[in-house]
Structure 1
Amino acid sequence: MFDFDPTDLPPVVQTTLDYAAQGKELALSWLLSPAAWSQFALLILAYLAARFVSKRFVPRLEVWLRPAEGATGLLSEARGFIALFLPLSLALLAYLFTGIGEAVTRSIFGSGAVIALGKRVFLLLAAQALVKDIIRDPFLKLLGKYVLLPVMGLYVLGLLGPVETWLAVTEVGAGNIRFSLMSLVRGLIAGVLLFWFGRWSTGRSRSYIGKQEELRPATRELAVKASEVFIFGVGFLLLMNIMGINLSALAVLGGAIGVGLGFGLQKIASNFISGIILLLEGQATVGDYVELDGGEAGTIVKMTARAAILETYDGKWIVVPNEDFITTRVVNYSDSGSANRYEAPFSVSYDTDINKVPSIIEAAVAQLDFVLSEPDGPDCELRGFGDSGVDFCVEFWVNGIDDGRNKFTPKVLFAIWNALKDNGIEIPYPHRVVEIKGADLKLSGQGAETL
């Protein structure tokens, strides 16, 4: 076949030429074989039949599967999920009809290589439709484009078996752990899929658990963390099993991780355990407004395995390690909607009958719709005698935090101002009386006029 000696060529080129020669001989045998032509005819017939069935019945099936607008429920979601795969119908029907034709051909001619190749081509077309029309997740689409389709291409050409054999016999190792390239590739693909599925599962479980309003916020957060640990733990065990790695071989690696936790990862381990303690005890959870010794204050919007995220009322996010909630003093203003007491200080003139002030202010503050009567109504107290006036303070209870969206104290101060003005009570301002003792001063000229 060749005008030169193929043994002088590199091994890769020799292998390629061998496959080319085999392909040429196979193509010639198919062109001269009546059985091959009959299989080609069956392939065309199977495709036409699949096209007819797909065009006739799939639109009706799609109308039936598509859930009504606004419909909810498990059955509607299941029907909608099945409807997503309708673009595969043509290729899968052709694959099914080709399989029937292959059985007929093998029973008559004793061979079915041509129709088997066509069946694999239809399966490749189904995989291409899956990646192009069905998968919407960017990560899965990338995985299908660069992993699934090349594998299907090797399967169609009949090269998947030899490639698997070569990957299986080629081994790599790290220390006492040795595994084949096939295990590495299989583990890489499975690991990527398991990680994506784990992220998707945790997102779904978080959404479901978050809707259980009868559970306390801390209990819901603990359930979410437990589900995440369970899902990723099962995924890790499955990945080790898929790669064929004996878990007992990881004992050395586990010891190294233990040493790392004792030194470099000590803080991470401490924060992780502190987060579990916080969730179990419910001392602080999502929705609480807290203030730490370090000055950090805000509403807890998220609790992760390492830290809690506080959102201040000016829109900033503060990441606070979980350990700080255990080892330092934390002021928790309790869950959203709980009652808190605040004070509004003010002063009146010394000319005022101070005995009337408490009743006037308490009545004015009590009229505000956000001021609570329980556990106690407004309480106006005399606090002291200042330099410019008599100091008072009114205490009041409200639901929520006096900051950000809820500015309670300014409204109370407005009510105090209006009540004092309506009752003719003067609010003092700072002033000083200067008395000069000593000899009489003689002032003349410009200085006297200035004085």
Structure 2
Amino acid sequence: MDGQPEITQKALAYVNQGWELAQGWLLSPAAWSQFGLLIVAFLLALVVSRKLSPVLTKAITPAQGQTSYIAQARRFVLIFLPLLLPLLAYLFTGLGEQITRSIFGSGAVIAFGKRVFLFLAARALVRDIVKDSFLKLLGKYILIPAMALYALGLLDDVSVYLTATTLTLGNISFSVMAMVRGLIAGSLLFWLGRWSNDQSAAYIGKQDEMRPATRQLAVKTAEIVIFGAAFLMLMNIMGINLSTLAVLGGAIGVGLGFGLQKIASNFISGVILLLEGQATVGDYVELDGGEAGTIIKMLARATILESYDGRWIVVPNEDFITTRVVNYSDSGSANRYEAPFSVSYDTDINKIPAIVEAAVTKHKDILDKPYPPDCELRGFGDSGIDFAVEFWVNGIDDGDNKYTSDVLFLIWNALKKEGIEIPYPHRVVEIKGALPNG
């Protein structure tokens, strides 16, 4: 063994130690009695859990359809019923340990059994209870191996070894244990931050009495607070002095001054948009640059529009502040459109407005306010007399809504019913001189 690496020597030493311990247990009456107590504790826990589980399930399960916080809490408790067996075994084993130590003065075997039952509880937690893919991954590769080391009594030795092993990056040195602890804590904190952010966003989204822009601002504020707190807690757990963040803040300030001013400008513009509420999620807007669509997301840096042809347009928030923006949906305001058409010169045009206005009014989405449909004479064209009917609707004449098309159908049918001709282009060809022969 002298020529082997240090880690190999330690592993072989642990194997020898485990073999000697196993031999001692096999030849010890006290050890056999503790094995017997472990079996009795497990069988007793098995019987009790089978009797108790249906009773607890019936008592805790809320009535179908209940959605109160108490009902949700009861459903959450039900998720942990698979832990009943290993935890009862752990409890009964603990009672047996007290008896064994009082009789034999030792309880190493039964203490090992307690740790095994805790390992089984951790395994059941990861396998049967945790549904989130990220938490299941942490449990599979971190919690279960750690509990296995704890069950074997090696967790403290491994922790000491990882603490003594250091890594150096330039002038910074840190132990492997600190890195592992930071990785675990960071993963849990930011998962919890994401979950808390989703819950707070869902809760704020249900507050119908708040303006949409105010809800968006509240969601963004909660997100910044939650992840900011998670970051500060992680720094504290890793032992990083928070006063060093002042230097980092100064560096970030210099970076903003030189290369990140656009990002800062877009972020501040996004906050102003949310505060003023002049454009919010669900509004149909058109910018000076030609971008037009329905706002579907308002992010920290940009606003995402969805056009009626299915394209997503990412518009920097600054453009909403520095350029002209037409909002077609502000506070659900109505919009005016017009449908042009022509009639023959043989028509009595004095009848046209009444016929067309009566036909257009029949459309279920045409509004009487602020103005009812209005048919106007626009001019005398080459092929016919030009009219247009103006009408008001709530919404945009695009996408799912085809108001102008519907109105033109109504006009066509109404004019056909009255026998009024809608002309097609006419051209008069004048030929001067005699026609050529042949």
Residue 302 and residue 67 in structure 1: after superposition, are their counterparts in 2 closer, same or farther (change >3 A)?
same
2:357 aligned with 1:362: yes
1:3 matched residue in structure 2: none
2:429 aligned with 1:430: no
Deviation at 1:327, TM superposition (A): 2.1
Residue 14 and residue 294 in structure 1: after superposition, are their counterparts in 2 closer, same or farther (change >3 A)?
same
Cα pair 1:176 1:249 within 8 Å, conserved = no
2:302 matched residue in structure 1: 307
Runs (4+) of structure 1 moved beyond 6 Å? none
Cα pair 1:287 1:336 within 8 Å, conserved = no
Partner of 2:378: helix, strand, or coil? strand
Residue 101 and residue 238 in structure 1: after superposition, are their counterparts in 2 closer, same or farther (change >3 A)?
same
Deviation at 1:37, TM superposition (A): 2.1
Letter in 2 for 1:215: M
Aligned equivalent of 1:101, options 93, 96, 100? 96
Within 2, Cα distance between the matches of 1:99 and 1:249? 47
Partner of 2:243: helix, strand, or coil? helix
2:293 aligned with 1:293: no
1:311-390 paired onto structure 2 within 5 Å:
311-335=306-330, 337-390=332-385
Deviation at 1:173, TM superposition (A): 5.0
Aligned equivalent of 1:416, options 398, 405, 411? 411
After TM superposition, the structure 1 stretch with the greater mean CA deviation from structure 2, 219-228 or 380-389, is 380-389
- Unpaired runs of 5+ residues, structure 2, are none
2:273 matched residue in structure 1: 278
Within 2, Cα distance between the matches of 1:80 and 1:281? 41
Within 1, Cα distance between the matches of 2:71 and 2:116? 34
After TM superposition, the structure 1 stretch with the greater mean CA deviation from structure 2, 321-330 or 258-267, is 258-267
Partner of 1:8: helix, strand, or coil? coil
Within 1, Cα distance between the matches of 2:423 and 2:217? 55
Cα pair 2:25 2:31 within 8 Å, conserved = yes
Cα pair 2:303 2:315 within 8 Å, conserved = yes
1:167-178 paired onto structure 2 within 5 Å:
167-174=162-169, 178=173
Deviation at 1:317, TM superposition (A): 2.2
Summarize deviations over 1:310-330 as a string: whole Å, max 9, x none: 222233322222222122221
Cα pair 2:298 2:304 within 8 Å, conserved = yes
Partner of 2:232: helix, strand, or coil? helix
Could you state the TM-score of these two structures normalised by the residue count of structure 1?
Answer: 0.92
Summarize deviations over 1:241-270 as a string: whole Å, max 9, x none: 111111112333333333333344333322
Within 1, Cα distance between the matches of 2:435 and 2:364? 63
1:223 matched residue in structure 2: 218
Residue 254 and residue 443 in structure 1: after superposition, are their counterparts in 2 closer, same or farther (change >3 A)?
same
Within 2, Cα distance between the matches of 1:422 and 1:196? 68
Cα pair 1:336 1:400 within 8 Å, conserved = no
Deviation at 1:84, TM superposition (A): 0.5
Aligned equivalent of 2:388, options 386, 393, 397? 393
Aligned equivalent of 1:142, options 117, 137, 140? 137
Deviation at 1:356, TM superposition (A): 2.7
Within 1, Cα distance between the matches of 2:319 and 2:99? 74
Deviation at 1:49, TM superposition (A): 1.4
After TM superposition, the structure 1 stretch with the greater mean CA deviation from structure 2, 129-138 or 195-204, is 195-204
Within 2, Cα distance between the matches of 1:172 and 1:50? 46
Deviation at 1:146, TM superposition (A): 0.7
Aligned equivalent of 1:23, options 18, 26, 36? 18
Partner of 2:313: helix, strand, or coil? strand
After TM superposition, the structure 1 stretch with the greater mean CA deviation from structure 2, 81-90 or 95-104, is 95-104
Cα pair 1:286 1:303 within 8 Å, conserved = yes
After TM superposition, the structure 1 stretch with the greater mean CA deviation from structure 2, 101-110 or 286-295, is 101-110
Deviation at 1:181, TM superposition (A): 2.1
Within 2, Cα distance between the matches of 1:347 and 1:50? 90
Deviation at 1:335, TM superposition (A): 4.4
Letter in 2 for 1:373: D
Cα pair 2:329 2:395 within 8 Å, conserved = no
After TM superposition, the structure 1 stretch with the greater mean CA deviation from structure 2, 54-63 or 261-270, is 261-270
Letter in 1 for 2:255: G
RMSD across aligned positions (CA): 1.9
Summarize deviations over 1:143-174 as a string: whole Å, max 9, x none: 11111111111111111112212222333455
Summarize deviations over 1:51-108 as a string: whole Å, max 9, x none: 1110111122112222333222111111111110101110011111111222222333
2:29 matched residue in structure 1: 34
Within 2, Cα distance between the matches of 1:442 and 1:158? 116
Within 2, Cα distance between the matches of 1:258 and 1:176? 24
Query: Quick one: percent identity of the two aligned structures?
Result: 71
1:203 matched residue in structure 2: 198
2:54 matched residue in structure 1: 59
2:238 aligned with 1:243: yes
Residue 23 and residue 322 in structure 1: after superposition, are their counterparts in 2 closer, same or farther (change >3 A)?
same
Query: Number of residue pairs matched?
Result: 438
Cα pair 1:62 1:83 within 8 Å, conserved = yes
Within 2, Cα distance between the matches of 1:301 and 1:46? 59
2:437 aligned with 1:444: yes
Summarize deviations over 1:270-323 as a string: whole Å, max 9, x none: 222221111111011111011122222111122222222222223332222222
Letter in 2 for 1:409: T
1:449 matched residue in structure 2: none
Cα pair 1:92 1:122 within 8 Å, conserved = yes
Within 2, Cα distance between the matches of 1:232 and 1:442? 89
Summarize deviations over 1:333-381 as a string: whole Å, max 9, x none: 1247431111111122233333332222222212222111111111122
Within 1, Cα distance between the matches of 2:435 and 2:128? 102
- Unpaired runs of 5+ residues, structure 1, are 1-5, 446-451
Within 1, Cα distance between the matches of 2:406 and 2:435? 53
Within 1, Cα distance between the matches of 2:261 and 2:168? 30
Residue 147 and residue 329 in structure 1: after superposition, are their counterparts in 2 closer, same or farther (change >3 A)?
same
Within 2, Cα distance between the matches of 1:303 and 1:321? 10
Cα pair 1:310 1:319 within 8 Å, conserved = yes
Cα pair 2:278 2:330 within 8 Å, conserved = no
Deviation at 1:442, TM superposition (A): 4.6
Letter in 2 for 1:334: S
Cα pair 1:275 1:307 within 8 Å, conserved = yes
Could you state the TM-score of these two structures normalised by the residue count of structure 2?
Answer: 0.94
Within 1, Cα distance between the matches of 2:249 and 2:111? 49
1:253 matched residue in structure 2: 248
